[in-house]
Amino acid sequence: MITAAIWPALDYSRVPYRLYHDAEIYAREQERIFRGPVWNFLGLDAEIPNPGDFRATYVGDTPVIFNRDRSGTVNAFVNRCAHRGALVRREVCGNAEQHICIYHQWCYGLDGGLTAIPFRRGIRGKAGLAASFDMGVHGLRPLRVDQVNGALFGTLAADAEPLGDYLGAPILGQLRRLLDRPVRVLGYNRQRIRGNWKLYAENTRDNYHASLLHEFLVTFGLDRSTQVGGVTMDPRHRHNITWAEAGSDTDEFARQAYASARVRNDFLSLKEPALVTFHPERDDKLNIAITSVFPSAVFVQISNSLAVRQIRPRGVDEVEVFQTMLGYQDDTPEMTLHRLRQANLVGPAGLVSMEDGEAIEIARLQARSRPQHGYRARRCRRDLRPRLPSNRRAVTRILVVLR
């Protein structure tokens, strides 16, 4: 049984590897985090425009369906038949008037309510379910659904606080900024990484690695730790925004700063510079904004590439990063093409993201072989980036350093 005794030090300066490969901890996370009082990103309003449209998603490793009913309301429910636990809706997406489980054809409405059972009253007056059987309590387990500018969130906990309170003002600001006009889904990509889901969740908040692991960022001048940028968290330090401003450092400054790192810094140039060309789409200068929403969503702007990622745990030792690539409904054909080109930067083949797969897999191998050890976390009061203008808040956070 897992107790606090697995922590080498109770000031959180050492993190036990065991957190990343223990089945009991994983099961507790599913129960107390994902099925607990958090809001999980489900999908986008734009993915289910018409009544009857549905899409499969996950809350932790629990399969969930979200759909739009006849009145236009978005419902979400656990995709598990009340009868034998089978997957009710097997397709990933589509349009339907109801959801029927193929096993015994139990039929559920678009609100997840149980509407029909074959042979409920038996055959020719014999057998069937007891008269006291109440269909009303055997629907699919519902989630409470709310949204921010079309980003749908769901919770399985009756006592979860309102979505706006859960996210906090800085995160609400970023979501409203990214989703400030109707979106268009350009496509999906998936990366299956052999490692615990938390290794990915922490990766998106780890600013130390960005320009060192993803050397393309520096080598081709897209993003450097020498730029003006920083980290902002919500007041309760659950969620995280990593941000940077375009063109806010010089090549010379960057060369000096990176002299001690083994990162190629002669800033090669591309034959197709559009790959790293930023066309500002709003009044601020942000060209990098990575908003991690605990536990499992990441809203991403990298240059003109926009996306939302869902972290899907698949057992203790595997995670799928499910990414939805976005554009806006009012994009010109040129901007759409530009986003499709910049999609080369992200995803499992991403020029600035592919390496996360390797980094997580090499971290996971070490962790599994040394369960009794921990890695050292160092509390750091200063951001690695240059001091920000005084009207921005300084941030205190833990920088995790692998020794």
d(Cα 78, Cα 76) in Å, to the nearest integer? Answer: 7
- Can residue 361 be called a binding residue for other proteins (CB under 8 A)? yes
Token pair belonging to 335: 């901007």
Least distance between other proteins and beta carbon 215 (Å): 4
3-state secondary structure of 110: coil
| Peptide bond just before 295 cis, omega within 30 deg | yes
Q: Which is nearer to other proteins, 240 or 342 (CB)?
A: 342
Q: Candidates 10-18, 130-138, 146-154, 351-359: pick the segment binding other proteins (CB under 8 A).
A: 351-359
Strand order in the sheet with 53-59: 40-44, 151-155, 142-148, 74-78, 62-68, 53-59, 93-95
Part of the chain binding other proteins (CB under 8 A), chosen from 19-27, 32-40, 145-153, 207-215: 207-215
Q: Is 219 helix (H, G, I), strand (E, B) or coil?
A: helix
Q: Give the per-residue contact string, 65-104, with other proteins (x = CB under 8 A; - = no).
A: ---------------------------xx-----------
Q: Does residue 262 touch other proteins according to CB under 8 A?
A: no
Q: Residue 213 or 254: which CB sits closer to other proteins?
A: 213
Q: Where are the beta strands (DSSP E) in 209-267?
A: 229-233, 240-245
Helix or strand run (H / E) with residue 173: helix 169-178
Site for other proteins in 371-390 (CB under 8 A): none
Query: What backbone phi and psi angles, to 5 degrees, belong to 367?
Result: -60, -40
Q: How far is the CB of 343 from other proteins (least distance, A)?
A: 5
Q: Is 380 helix (H, G, I), strand (E, B) or coil?
A: strand
Q: Is 216 in the site for other proteins (CB under 8 A)?
A: yes
Residue 228 engages other proteins in binding (rule: CB under 8 A): no
Q: Which stretch binds other proteins (CB under 8 A): 13-21, 174-182, 342-350, 372-380?
A: 342-350
Give every CB contact of residue 176 below 8 A, 6+ residues apart in sequence.
148, 149
Backbone φ and ψ of 334, nearest 5°: -65, -40
Taking CB under 8 A as the criterion, the residue among 275, 335, 377, 380 binding other proteins is 275
Binding part of the chain for other proteins, among 62-70, 214-222, 286-294, 363-371 by CB under 8 A, reads 214-222
- Residue 213 binds other proteins (CB under 8 A): yes
Which two structure tokens, joined as six digits, stand for 400?
A: 């995790």
Binding site for other proteins (CB under 8 A): 92-93, 185-194, 213-216, 219-220, 264, 268, 270-272, 275, 320, 325, 336-337, 340-341, 343-344, 347-349, 351, 354-358, 361
